[in-house]
Amino acid sequence: MEVLGHRGSRVPGPENTVEAVDAALSAGADGVEIDVRRSADGDLVCIHDARLSRPAGRAVIRQPTEVLRARGIPLFDEIIDVWAGRGRLILEIKNQPGQPDFDAPRERTARALVERLRARGLTGPRPTVAELDAGAGGITVSSFDWFAIEVVRDADLAVATAFLTMPRMSVSGGLGYVRSAGHAELHAHTSAVLGAADAAARARQAGVRLVTWTVTTVEAALALRHAGVAGVICDDPVQVRRALAAPGS
């Protein structure tokens, strides 16, 4: 089972930073997940929240890149540079209704991400589920917004795509869309997976990799491994990796 760091690694953090990504990968995580948004200048930056906490309430999409950089928010390119092909990199496109940068179905963030990945030479055939199962690594783009991942899916990029689902969506519902749309993975909420005993078996039958978010305890990680999922996105990937490797775990 793959162990992937949530927002780089929320423990020890700080989340969505070069330091968190490097620490998780250096400590043996199989990969990391990072959030992607746009600045007012159209640059891609890595931050989870749509608004800054200080000054409170200011939308990320309305802030110049230099202001965001001054607050320690990294550029997407900085994250790519420190990742440097070490394991998997999951890029979550943040584009949710009610947030100031929501623009479906225009998908400006997804289109900007496609251009940045293309500029870095990441073109070619998409990795297959079998290649991902074999530990191929590389980049996967995920989102709650299916328009966003379809933009990436239809580009000439050698990256996989994954549909990210809210806790209220059943695993079977998510699998139905993923299979019909040709994505490689379903990133389902932990509660949905643990609430469906046959979730992993259904995913395998559908030819889809099942990855769960967000794992916050060792107990949940062990239960998910027992359930047969392909991977877990966790706040403390080092602790989870250590627990999975312990004798008798």
Per-residue pLDDT of the chain (249 residues), as tens digits, is: 999 999 999 998 999 999 999 999 999 999 999 999 999 999 999 999 999 988 788 999 999 999 999 999 999 999 999 999 999 999 999 999 999 999 999 999 999 999 999 999 999 999 999 999 999 999 999 999 999 999 999 999 999 999 999 999 999 999 999 999 999 999 999 999 999 999 999 999 999 999 999 999 999 999 999 999 999 999 999 999 999 999 888
Specify whether the backbone of 140 is left (phi greater than 0), alpha (psi in -120 to 50) or beta. Answer: beta
Locate the domains of the chain by residue range: 2-35+86-245
Q: Whole-structure pTM over 0.75, yes or no?
A: yes
Cα 136 from Cα 89, distance rounded (Å): 11
Q: Which CATH architecture has domain 2-35+86-245?
A: Alpha-Beta Barrel (3.20)
